[in-house]
Amino acid sequence: MIEALSVLGAVLLFIAAVFEVLLIAGLPLGEFTMGGRHKVLPPAMRAAGAGSLLTQVFAGLILLQAGGFMSMWFSPGVTKVICYVFAGCDKHCYELFLNEQEREIHYDSTCTD
């Protein structure tokens, strides 16, 4: 069960990372993120998106490591702590309930941002 959940979580994070790459590249997908304020993300937000991209890829790799699909970068205890930190820092799920942008609520309902 843990293995399947780690793969599912990693796949969702990698899908979010691909979406982030498309945003950074300047595709007009801004209405699906950041509250829909920008059709195309401005350069400053693209730079922040690059940091988000790195975080999403790292978290996906950590999930794969926790599920036993990758060689160990960190000890099992450190990997578990990293997983808990990522889970605790993901306040996006809570913000979604307070969001007034209908399009973002319907299409950005994953808890990976």
Tokens of 79: 């990997």
- The string of pLDDT tens digits covering residues 53-73 is 998 898 888 888 888 888 878
Q: How far is CA 55 from the centre of its chain?
A: 7
Question: How many residues are there in the chain?
Answer: 113
Dihedrals phi, psi of 109, to nearest 5 degrees: -95, 5
- The string of pLDDT tens digits covering residues 100-111 is 555 555 555 554
CA angle 47, 52, 55 (to 5 degrees): 135
pLDDT at 21: 94
Q: What is the pTM of this model?
A: 0.69
